[in-house]
């Protein structure tokens, strides 16, 4: 079996890693950040860790593909009032529209099949 070279693996610990802040001008979001290890995938496609500071909210968006996420810590509330708590695993169908808010902050592991779009 071939060994894995150092340029073929990235390892970070979400407790100590530096998260990348979302660009407010590009996304309209404040208090949100992410960790994405795969440099060949666009920012909101594939797997990433999403973090919301207390009081942060995501911008309204439509999923271009299915989205699955696992709430690692904290609590997340969708615009329709659905609350996701630590330990919840969620699937949202392609084309669903929502935005989320976190009163006390949260960290979420996300897998998204396709790019997000702004709802019309």
Tell me if residue 58 falls in helix, strand or coil: coil
Whole-number average pLDDT of the chain: 93
Mean pLDDT across the stretch 9-36? Answer: 91
What is the rounded CA–CA span in Å between residue 9 and residue 25? 32
What pLDDT does residue 26 have?
Answer: 80
What is the rounded CA–CA span in Å between residue 6 and residue 119? 41
The pLDDT tens digits of the residues spanning 64-79 come to 899 999 999 999 999 9
Mean pLDDT across the stretch 97-107? Answer: 96
- 112 contacts: CB under 8 Å, gap ≥ 6: 44, 45, 46, 48, 63, 65, 66, 67, 68
What is the rounded CA–CA span in Å between residue 77 and residue 60? 13
What pLDDT does residue 36 have?
Answer: 94
Can you give the pTM of this predicted structure? 0.91
């Amino acid at each position: 079996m071939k060994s894995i070279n150092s340029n073929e693996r990235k390892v970070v610990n979400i407790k100590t890693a530096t998260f990348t802040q979302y660009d407010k001008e590009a996304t309209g979001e404040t208090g949100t950040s992410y960790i994405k290890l795969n440099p060949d995938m666009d920012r909101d496609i594939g797997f990433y860790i999403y973090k919301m500071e207390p009081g942060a909210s995501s911008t309204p968006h439509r999923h271009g593909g299915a989205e699955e996420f696992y709430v690692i810590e904290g609590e997340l509330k969708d615009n329709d009032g659905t609350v996701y708590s630590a330990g919840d695993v969620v699937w949202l169908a392609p084309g669903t529209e929502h935005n989320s808010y976190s009163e006390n902050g949260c960290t979420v592991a996300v897998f998204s099949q396709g790019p997000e779009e702004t709802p019309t």
